[in-house]
Structure 1
Amino acid sequence: MTDLKEVARLAGVSRATAARVFASPDVVRPTTREQVFAAARQLGFRPNRLGRQLRLQTTNLIGVVVPNLLNPVFAEQFQSMERAARLRGYNLLLATTDYSSERESAVVEELLRQRVDGLVLTVTDADRSRVLQSLAGEDTPFVLAYHQPGNPDYSTVSVDNRAGMALATRYLLDAGHRRIGMVAGPALQSDRARLRYAGYCEAMREAGLDSLPVIEMPAHTQADFAALEPLLHGPQALSALVCSNDLLAISLIAQLRRNGWSVPRQLSVIGFDGIALGTQIHPTLCSVVQPIATLANTVIDQLLAQIAGAAPASHCLPCHIRPGESTRPYEETCDDPHQ
């Protein structure tokens, strides 16, 4: 059986250098790294990672928990994290929860059984999560992505959800809109959606306007025209909507257009996330942009620092408005197609 010594001899390097190539390839010169990998391929050699893991009591695995991959924000986040982790010699294990707290407990327990070195978590409600409370008694470091929980002992990387939605609402107010509503998933189940609703209410209050109760949709990323239709008619009909995430905004625009409503001529719509898909639809989506790639890289850096012994820390990244064709300045119209 081929061993590391034979690979080193064929590559023309020392055994220590060959070992370093497999353990920490990013610290070895590219030419040397390729020599060793080429020799390993020629000899059919693969390093015994299990033995190394047992010796070092580490797996170089990071568990990642997200609500789903139907929302591209989580897919974009995972891709950026995978790239950042791979450069540091780590691999990711992914699990989804479909916004179920029971499922969160099950998948985290399974990842802990896999002996992951750390966890990246996006849960439904960080302030009420049983999973986070139980992890307090574990040795496994974790970082929350997108959350702003009240517990200062949690390590988090997020944007300011409240400020971001206030920014979106003010963007519409500055364009002359006064009858603005907010669309979100079931019962503001997500703590992020609740913070975003608070930001909407704050901006409306500052403008001397009444905020409306959240317009609840059947799912976090799926709009239902029937839930919105009663607010589109009469003298107090809405002229603009802020949505708790981009995919919900895209679904909403599609539902409006299917039912004869023009976006943005009759209704302006803003999303929240800044996913790339929003720039590829018509009309292009105006959105509050979260710096997803920066957030993902910061999450990995923070988690690896904790694995190395650093204390938990929190980072709040800036967000901004990406203009799009889904909004326009307010103009008084009589364009209700159903009058």
Structure 2
Amino acid sequence: MSTLQQVAFRAGCSIATASRVLNHNGPVSDEMVRRVRRAAAELGYRASGRAVNFARRRPAIGVLIPSITNPVFAASLSSIQHRALHAGHSVLIAQSNYDPAQEADAVASLLHQRPTGLILTVCDPERSLALSSALPPTVLLNNLPTARFPAAVTPDNFGAGRELTEHLLDQGHSRILFISGHFGASDRARLRYLGHVKAMEAVGHAPFAAVQIPFIDSFEQLDLGDDILRLKPTAIIASNDLLALGVMGSLRRQGFSVPHDISVAGFDGIAIGRLMDPPLTTVEMPDATMGAAAASLLLDMAENAAPTRHLIVPYRLRPGGTVRNLNVVS
């Protein structure tokens, strides 16, 4: 087993300096932090003074997600756990229920366990109270980076919203309604809507205001009757696939056929959408890939003092049978 003295020798510093770096208990230059952490990682050294002796307890990564029941976050979480376990870490999980107030409490609970670092999906990184205090190495997942937290793994949600809308426009739709959870609970949904607005305005169509509903309400009870009568959309874009399924259920309860009467599309590419008849038109996000990338980036930052990075992962438009081509006369 490697010793602190060996780490200090390899890093070219004193034992006291190596101890300050590994136990986070004193001022050290960024360059020295990188050298000591790299030496410790190469030697397989673990500082025994952190939280609980690592001989008895594995180091852990803290993960915050909005919902453990949404398949999108479940896929990311599974790949995070796989990557963490491969690196000898366990995973601590918390959820915010799309509530900014719960985020801060959830992160505080994770910090109590003194994790190696954090992977966070927050409602809005620019306003999140969870990001207002000092944190260990942190990677934002699905959120855009901020000045304080520049490490992030994200798809281009704005571009995805624009591309999906362009697809509907190409199919002859101009009255497109965007339905979403509250934008204050998801910057992903807000960016997708802004991309939708951009695409509509680019061809001279005035976009409808988004219909915003709580993310955590039961979508089985979704009632769109008033919005359909008032706006008469030919197509509806939901801010995620679970909501798209709820929209389709609501339309069918009101006697509408999908896609003959009203087309429906979503975002995420969850498996159940592919199993539907007809398959859901959606923008597929590589959630498992994003989770693995976030875990790898965090471990590299925490263990090797690697520089922070913003990784943009590609999405893919997946046309399905829930969007009707109005250009084709039936």
**TM-score band, normalised by shorter chain:** 0.7 to 0.9
Deviations 1:93-120 (A, max 9, x none): 1111111222211121111111111111
Answering whether residue 159 of structure 2 is matched by residue 163 of structure 1, we say: yes
Q: Which has the higher contact order (CA 8 A, sep 6+)?
A: 2
SS of the aligned residue for 1:54 comes to coil
Output the CA distance in 2 between the equivalents of 1:51 and 1:203. Answer: 51
Identity %: 35
Deviations 1:68-125 (A, max 9, x none): 1221101111112111221221111111111122221112111111111111101111
Output the CA distance in 2 between the equivalents of 1:282 and 1:97. Answer: 33
Q: Mapping of 1:142-157 within 5 angstroms?
A: 142-151=138-147, 153-157=149-153
Name the counterpart of 2:106: 107
SS of the aligned residue for 1:301 comes to helix
Output the CA distance in 1 between the equivalents of 2:245 and 2:101. Answer: 29
Q: Is the 8 A contact 1:80 1:293 kept in 2?
A: yes
Q: Is the 8 A contact 2:145 2:151 kept in 1?
A: no
Output the CA distance in 2 between the equivalents of 1:114 and 1:169. Answer: 44
What amino acid sits opposite 1:278 in the alignment? Answer: G
Q: 1:153 to 1:93 in 2, by over 3 A?
A: closer
Output the CA distance in 1 between the equivalents of 2:106 and 2:146. Answer: 24
Q: For this pair of structures, how many residues does the alignment match?
A: 283
Q: 1:59 to 1:195 in 2, by over 3 A?
A: same
Output the CA distance in 2 between the equivalents of 1:75 and 1:150. Answer: 25
Name the counterpart of 1:65: 64
Out of 201, 215, 220, the residue aligned to residue 197 of structure 2 is 201
SS of the aligned residue for 2:306 comes to coil
Name the counterpart of 1:244: 239
Output the CA distance in 2 between the equivalents of 1:221 and 1:174. Answer: 33
What is the Cα-based RMSD across aligned positions, in Å?
2.8
CA shift at 1:280, angstroms? 1.6
Q: Is the 8 A contact 1:59 1:117 kept in 2?
A: no
SS of the aligned residue for 1:264 comes to coil
CA shift at 1:237, angstroms? 1.6
Output the CA distance in 2 between the equivalents of 1:148 and 1:187. Answer: 15
What amino acid sits opposite 2:195 in the alignment? Answer: G
Output the CA distance in 2 between the equivalents of 1:57 and 1:195. Answer: 44
Structure 1: runs of 5+ lacking an equivalent: 1-23, 28-48, 334-339
Name the counterpart of 1:85: 84
Name the counterpart of 1:13: none
Name the counterpart of 1:37: none
What amino acid sits opposite 2:154 in the alignment? Answer: S
What amino acid sits opposite 2:160 in the alignment? Answer: G
Q: Is the 8 A contact 2:263 2:324 kept in 1?
A: yes
Name the counterpart of 1:262: 257
TM-score, normalised on structure 2? 0.79
TM-score, normalised on structure 1? 0.77
Q: Mapping of 1:322-333 within 5 angstroms?
A: 322-330=318-326
Output the CA distance in 2 between the equivalents of 1:77 and 1:65. Answer: 11
Output the CA distance in 2 between the equivalents of 1:51 and 1:65. Answer: 21
Output the CA distance in 2 between the equivalents of 1:105 and 1:225. Answer: 29
Output the CA distance in 1 between the equivalents of 2:55 and 2:309. Answer: 26
Q: Considering only CA atoms, is the larger Rg found in Structure 1 or Structure 2?
A: 1
SS of the aligned residue for 1:316 comes to strand
Output the CA distance in 1 between the equivalents of 2:169 and 2:50. Answer: 61
